[in-house]
Amino acid sequence: MAGSLDQLRELVASGKAVTGIIGQGYVGLPLAVEFARSGFRTIGFDISSAVVDGINAGNSHVEDVSGEVLGGFVKKGLITATTDFSRLAECDAISICVPTPLNKTKDPDLSYVVSAAEAVRRTLRPGQLIILESTTYPGTTREVVLPILEQSGLVVGKDFTLCFSPERVDPGNPTWQTRNTPKVIGGITPICGELGLALYRKVFDTMVPVESPEAAELVKVYENTFRLINIALVNELAQACDRLGLDVWGVIDAAATKPFGFMKFTPGPGLGGHCIPLDPHYLSWKMRTLSFKTRMIELASEINAEMPAYVVRKVSDALNDRETSLKGSKVLILGVAYKKNIGDLRESPALDIIRLLQEKGAKVSYHDPYVPMIEDDGHTPLKELPMRSVPLTDQQLQTVDLALIVTDHKDVDYGRVLSLAPLVVDTRGVIRTNGNGKLVGLSGTPSASFVA
């Protein structure tokens, strides 16, 4: 156990430092596994007894962490989990990986970060390294976390060190995962940055040091603001193509042949997930406190938020062209997760689409191989819960009035869907044939061959 920053440096260099990770969700648990893979004994902290008991039994609740891998590290004693936050005193380095949601007015909710920082402060001792990973606005580490830690009477850069290193997790990505995704880090003082870098270099393949925690915080929100704005642009393009009678997918594919000055983005039914719909608003909030208006963020958010309603209008128009009313129609949603090939429902546009369809009187069912049930978690905007995924049988496809592709999971045969369903609305461009008039896209009519 380190008692000074010099001892901490030695423990990190030798691989004998004990690491603690507050929050064992989609960020914290994969990070714990990578620390263990690097030989560090790691303690995972979580307020959920069910999560802790599962980890200690070698059972993973995170899709990107296999139970086999987790169980192996648990058996070796490299990973243990606890709800006892007094054990933070055992840790030489502590990473904070807790949620940072927005409240109803889209202001940052830092209650989880504050609670974690206060837990660290209660056991803070000389020789500890603290790293905040939770996505937040520039200034959080210095203006919120640091004052809490300094209530202990210890001095940053002398007694303990503090850094910010944003998580860059992309759930379900088979190529870029925790270890091989470049890791940004910025310290409150030079020695903070030095020791944070020394530790994380043991875990991550590529480190990207920046000048300060504020720079590292801004890196994260900028990355997802970039995506938010470009997705809004291509969603607006889809609506423009619809007015022009053009196939947006063909336009995008042709534009993507340009080998310079262009990055391909694709439209969809709306934004989902834990990052892109939320992170840019941290920056908007911060800049409002400085009397600066982030107009592009506000406009992009507005465009993306309107996509579920646009999709429902496409469904209504498609049925109307068949002389069928949306009210009373049977609509089958294909895919409700926020992205393909995972079971994550956070901020999924499918939930808003289902709600809007139900409000207009449609009889809605869904099929998703990754989401067997939609439950009432207090945040889901649906009234009639739970909903359960229905089997994608021939009869199911033939007896609905319309199949709506919202999330293009790989496990679905879309050729079969188009063949059996009387009408298909495809928001993801997964089908590239008009199906003899049975297919309706976000815009225009696809003319290329079928692609899945």
Question: Which residues are the active-site residues?
Answer: 275
Q: Is 129 helix (H, G, I), strand (E, B) or coil?
A: strand
Residue-level length of the chain: 452
Residue 56 to residue 38: CA distance in whole angstroms: 19
Tokens 């896209």 sit at which residue?
A: 441
Which residues partner with 87 through β-bridges? Answer: none
Cα gap 271→141, rounded to integer Å? 28
Bridge partners of residue 374, in order along the sequence: 387
**Measured between alpha carbons, how far is 40 from 33 in angstroms, rounded to an integer?**
10
Q: Going by DSSP bridges, is the β-strand pair 402-405/424-426 parallel, antiparallel, or unpaired?
A: parallel
DSSP string covering 12-55: HHHT---EEEE--STTHHHHHHHHHHTT--EEEE-S-HHHHHHH
Q: What one-character-per-residue DSSP string does 164-219 give?
A: E------TT-SSS-TTTS-EEEEESSHHHHHHHHHHHTTT-S-EEE-S-HHHHHHH
Contact at 8 Å (CB) between 241 and 251?
A: yes
Q: Is 127 left (phi over 0), alpha (psi -120 to 50) or beta?
A: left
Give the integer Cα–Cα distance in Å for 26 and 344: 10
